[in-house]
């Protein structure tokens, strides 16, 4: 019989509270079109009170090493999780980014912004297509298409401009939220 010098050490399965956290983030992840396992991992790490080893993520969540490896890599890439090196332990430990402001900024920078920039290019290719085919289309149709493309471009640019502002707003301490932006006239805020 082989000796068991270091007992596998961690429980298997989650306690009730941990599974509620996991549920929350699984829900969020799927809403954002991410794999369930990514939600599980982040939820588990978010609920942990100290950095947690790869091993333990696998054992406690009961997912495969493959899923854990890929999920952790992904979460690390998007800056939602970071590696923590623990002295005297060869394993890699992981920690969730719990500062939501950070998470939010990362998401804006890593996902939203690149997409909007991609859109800009796509709008440009719509516009050049209109120019190319203007003859064939006739000037009325061409004008119509140009107007639609211009609207797309306008809104995409606006979104791009709004990005840094959004970032700031989100990191503003709650009592500062500028809720009286009411120079626009419409006053629907003052409830019954």
Rounded Cα–Cα distance for residues 153 and 145 (Å): 12
Rounded Cα–Cα distance for residues 185 and 60 (Å): 55
Q: Between residue 17 and residue 36, which ones bind a second copy under the rule CB under 8 A?
A: 17, 20-21, 23-24, 27-28, 31-33
Q: Smallest gap, in angstroms, from Cβ of residue 150 to a second copy?
A: 11
Rounded Cα–Cα distance for residues 23 and 30 (Å): 11
DSSP of 84-136: EE-TT--SEEEEE---HHHHHHHHIIIIIHHHHHHHHHHHHHHHHHHHHHHHH
Enclosing H/E stretch for 81: strand 81-85
68 or 149: whose CB is closer to a second copy? 149
**Can you tell me which residue has the tokens 């050490």?**
9
Q: Smallest gap, in angstroms, from Cβ of residue 36 to DNA?
A: 4
Q: Which does 27 bind (CB under 5 to 8 A by kind): a second copy, DNA, none?
A: a second copy
Chain positions contacting DNA, by CB under 7 A: 2, 5-6, 33-38, 53-55, 62-73, 90-92
Query: Which residues make up the interface to a second copy (CB under 8 A)?
Result: 15-17, 20-21, 23-24, 27-28, 31-33, 46-47, 49, 98, 100, 115, 118-119, 122-123, 125-126, 129-130, 132-133, 136-137, 141, 144-145, 148-149, 151-152, 154-155, 158-159, 161-162, 164-166, 168-170, 172, 174, 176-179, 181, 184, 189
């Amino acid at each position: 019989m082989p000796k068991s010098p270091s007992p596998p050490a961690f429980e298997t399965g989650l306690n009730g509270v941990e599974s509620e956290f996991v549920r929350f983030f699984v829900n969020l992840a799927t809403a954002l079109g991410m794999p369930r396992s990514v939600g599980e991992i982040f939820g588990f790490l978010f609920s942990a009170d100290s950095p947690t080893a790869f091993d333990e993520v696998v054992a406690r969540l009961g997912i495969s090493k493959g899923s854990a490896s890929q999920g952790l890599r992904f979460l690390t890439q998007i800056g939602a999780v970071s590696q923590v090196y623990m002295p005297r332990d060869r394993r890699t430990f992981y920690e969730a980014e719990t500062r939501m402001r950070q998470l939010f900024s990362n998401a804006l920078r890593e996902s939203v912004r690149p997409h909007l920039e991609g859109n800009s290019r796509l709008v440009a290719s719509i516009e050049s297509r209109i120019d190319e085919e203007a003859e064939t289309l006739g000037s009325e149709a061409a004008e119509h298409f140009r107007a639609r493309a211009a609207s797309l471009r306008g809104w995409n640019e606006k979104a791009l401009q709004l990005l840094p502002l959004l970032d700031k707003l989100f990191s503003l301490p709650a009592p500062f939220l500028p809720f009286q932006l009411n120079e626009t006239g419409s006053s629907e805020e003052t409830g019954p």
